[in-house]
């Protein structure tokens, strides 16, 4: 086989510096050749050497293993003949492409699935509008200004630069009482919810005397968040949601999680009387209100509703993220905590992942400080409002039949499209959507119990996910699905 090394422009051989760890058995030269073949073969089979991985030259591997170069070349030749390796002129020896065997599905990403042609699933923003240029400028400024100590392990609460910027921004735009020392930066809402559940669980038995904190969660609500609480040791109890938001008759519990600005998935805004009832319950019982400020920045028909936390900062935990305003991949979120929870949450964060990545924090702090973040949010608000208006207009003009109502459209990135009684149910509509290669959510998937008898049915339509060019076609597909 050709075992040539990559060559430089002047024709001299150039070592690529590839490292390779192999456990070789001792023995004779012939036995060690077989051992080398077996070690390489096993590394390819179990995935430690992925297709396309470059192997060391025979000269280098011989020097590192104590084998002769002829022995290494013979092993490479044998594995090339078996189809495990391939030799490329000027590129050395690489692992050959292998047929794909069965693989485990990643949670939330079923194996073998492809993205739908029309994606109106809720929960994500239009990531094609990510402010790349502004982010790059802020990153350059941040890296040019920070001391080298910023690249070391950081404060588990988060960088002081971001916490200070968030304190100003959240107070100014959301009415949050947020001194920097009361903020803990987390890697998104899910981590914040899990940390809080774990800390509440460490305080002893729940209010009913059993182990684990009792956490009230809106019904309907996101099933994934309920599972996060359960896996962190909590016990979930439903809190019914009606046209005024989360119910006022609260069961005995340690905490209640609510989405006051724009309830998910119904889209209702928590009524002022319910807001007062929640904070009164927290003061009287010692329980916590956990405010998920879902879609808080995106209100379209009037001024945004201020955060609940501002009315009872010692009894409300405020959770926000950059996932909807910028993108979920940044993994940047924040908790504004009552004073007595700052230390235990910071300690839990320390032993969870030590700290959230510092460079992203410094970049976001810069975006907030020079108001580029404000400008991006305002532009996104206008863009999503146009999408919301187009959704309402298209469904009204598509003659989708009586009884179809679009609700929850005052804010956010999704709408609830109610299905009429006596018409197709959610399962039938989903079958029609599949025929159109359209993905949407359903209200039925969000109830705490599977029994849907007597409950309203509807589609949860996200208008944040598609790019600008793909959105009109997705709405046309939705109109065809709902048309009688």
Q: How confident is the model at residue 484 (pLDDT cuts 50, 70, 90)?
A: confident
Q: Which residue has the higher pLDDT, 3 or 218?
A: 218
Angle at 472 between CA 390 and CA 376, to 5 degrees: 70
Length in residues, the chain: 484
**Are 410 and 301 spatial neighbours (Cβ–Cβ below 8 Å)?**
yes
Q: What is the pLDDT of residue 207?
A: 58
Q: What is the pLDDT of residue 251?
A: 81
Q: How confident is the model at residue 117 (pLDDT cuts 50, 70, 90)?
A: very high
Angle at 213 between CA 211 and CA 218, to 5 degrees: 135
Please determine, for residue 305, whether its predicted confidence score (pLDDT) is greater than 60.
yes
CATH of domain 1-101: 1.10.10.10
Q: Which residue has the higher pLDDT, 371 or 47?
A: 371
Classify burial at 289, counting beta carbons within 10 Å of its beta carbon; exposed 0-12, middle 13-18, buried 19 or more.
buried
Specify which residues 289 forms β-bridges with: 256, 316
Spell out the residues 6+ positions from residue 431 whose beta carbon is closer than 8 angstroms to its own.
none
DSSP codes, 25-44? ----HHHHHHHHHHHHHHHH
Q: What is d(CA 403, CA 419) in angstroms, rounded to the nearest whole number?
A: 7
Q: What is d(CA 163, CA 152) in angstroms, rounded to the nearest whole number?
A: 18
Average pLDDT over residues 351-358: 94
What is the CA 236 to chain-centroid distance, rounded? 22
Q: What is the pLDDT of residue 98?
A: 72
Please determine, for residue 184, whether its predicted confidence score (pLDDT) is greater than 90.
yes
Residue pLDDT, tens place only, 65-78: 888 999 999 999 88
Instruction: For residue 109, give the 3-state DSSP assignment.
Output: strand
Please determine, for residue 240, whether its predicted confidence score (pLDDT) is greater than 80.
yes
Please determine, for residue 210, whether its predicted confidence score (pLDDT) is greater than 90.
no
Instruction: For residue 234, give the 3-state DSSP assignment.
Output: coil
> Would you give the DSSP letter of residue 310?
G
Q: What is the pLDDT of residue 310?
A: 95
Instruction: For residue 55, give the 3-state DSSP assignment.
Output: coil
Q: How confident is the model at residue 6 (pLDDT cuts 50, 70, 90)?
A: very low
Q: What is the pLDDT of residue 217?
A: 97
Least confident of 301-305, 348-352, 466-470: 301-305
Q: What is d(CA 36, CA 25) in angstroms, rounded to the nearest whole number?
A: 8
Report the DSSP pairing between strands 441-442 and 438-439: unpaired
**Helix (H) or strand (E) segment spanning residue 281:** helix 272-285
CATH architecture of 128-375: 3-Layer(aba) Sandwich (3.40)
Q: What is the pLDDT of residue 346?
A: 97
Residue pLDDT, tens place only, 8-35: 444 444 455 577 888 777 655 557 888 8
Residue pLDDT, tens place only, 75-113: 998 888 888 898 876 668 889 887 655 445 555 555 556
Using a pLDDT cut of 90, give the percent of the chain over it.
60
Spell out the residues 6+ positions from residue 205 whose beta carbon is closer than 8 angstroms to its own.
211, 212
Q: Where are the domains of the chain?
A: 1-101, 118-127+380-482, 128-375
Token pair of 123 as six digits:
């929960």
Q: What is the pLDDT of residue 336?
A: 98
Least confident of 74-78, 163-167, 284-288: 74-78
Angle at 312 between CA 306 and CA 315, to 5 degrees: 125
> Would you give the DSSP letter of residue 98?
-
DSSP codes, 146-196? S-GGGGS---TT--HHHHHHHHHHHHHHH-----GGGEEEESSHHHHHHHH
Token pair of 49 as six digits:
């050497």
Cis peptide upstream of residue 220 (ω within 30 degrees of 0): yes
Q: What is the pLDDT of residue 304?
A: 75
Q: What is d(CA 52, CA 475) in angstroms, rounded to the nearest whole number?
A: 42
Q: What is the pLDDT of residue 12?
A: 41
**Helix (H) or strand (E) segment spanning residue 77:** helix 69-81
CATH of domain 118-127+380-482: 3.90.1150.10
């Amino acid at each position: 086989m050709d075992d040539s090394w990559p060559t430089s422009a002047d024709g001299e051989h150039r070592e690529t510096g590839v490292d390779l760890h192999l456990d070789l058995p001792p023995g004779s030269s012939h036995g060690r050749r077989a051992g080398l073949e077996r070690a390489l073969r096993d590394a390819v089979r179990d995935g430690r050497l992925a297709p396309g991985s470059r192997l060391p030259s025979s000269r280098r591997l011989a020097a590192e293993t104590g084998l002769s170069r002829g022995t290494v070349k013979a092993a490479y030749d044998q594995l090339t003949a078996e189809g495990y390796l391939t030799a490329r002129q000027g590129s050395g020896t690489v692992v050959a492409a292998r047929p794909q065997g069965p693989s485990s599905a990643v949670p939330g990403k079923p194996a073998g699935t492809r993205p739908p042609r029309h994606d109106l699933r809720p929960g994500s923003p239009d990531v094609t509008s990510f402010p790349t240029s502004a982010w790059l400028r802020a990153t350059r400024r941040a890296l040019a200004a920070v001391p080298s100590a910023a690249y070391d392990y950081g404060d588990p609460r988060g960088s002081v630069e971001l916490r200070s910027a968030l304190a100003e921004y959240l107070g100014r735009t959301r009415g949050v009482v947020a001194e920097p020392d009361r903020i803990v930066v987390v890697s998104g809402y899910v981590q914040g919810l899990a940390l809080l559940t774990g800390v509440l669980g460490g305080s002893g038995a729940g209010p009913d005397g059993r182990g684990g904190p009792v956490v009230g969660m809106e019904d309907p609500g996101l099933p994934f968040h309920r599972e996060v609480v359960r896996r962190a040791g909590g016990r979930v109890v439903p809190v019914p949601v009606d046209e005024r938001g989360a119910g006022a008759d609260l069961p005995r519990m340690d905490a209640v999680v609510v989405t006051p600005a724009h309830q998910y998935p119904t889209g209702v805004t928590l009524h002022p009387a319910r807001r007062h009832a929640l904070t009164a319950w927290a003061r009287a019982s010692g329980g916590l209100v956990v405010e998920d400020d879902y879609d808080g920045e995106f209100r379209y028909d009037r001024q945004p509703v201020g955060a609940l936390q501002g009315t009872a900062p010692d009894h409300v935990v405020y959770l926000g993220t950059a996932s909807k305003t910028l993108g979920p991949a940044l993994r940047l979120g924040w908790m504004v905590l009552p004073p007595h929870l700052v230390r235990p949450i910071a300690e839990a964060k320390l032993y969870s992942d030590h700290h959230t990545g510092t460079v992203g924090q410094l970049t976001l702090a810069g975006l907030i400080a020079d108001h580029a973040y404000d400008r991006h949010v305002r532009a996104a608000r206008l863009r999503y409002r146009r999408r919301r208006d187009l959704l309402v207009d298209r469904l009204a003009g598509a003659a989708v039949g009586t009884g179809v109502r679009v609700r929850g459209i005052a804010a956010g990135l999704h709408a609830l499209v109610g299905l009429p009684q006596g018409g197709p149910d959610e399962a039938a509509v989903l079958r029609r959507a599949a025929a159109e290669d359209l993905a949407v959510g359903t209200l039925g998937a969000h109830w705490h119990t599977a029994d849907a008898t007597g409950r309203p049915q509807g589609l949860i339509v996200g208008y944040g996910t598609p790019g600008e060019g793909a959105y009109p076609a997705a709405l046309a597909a939705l109109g065809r699905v709902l048309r009688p």
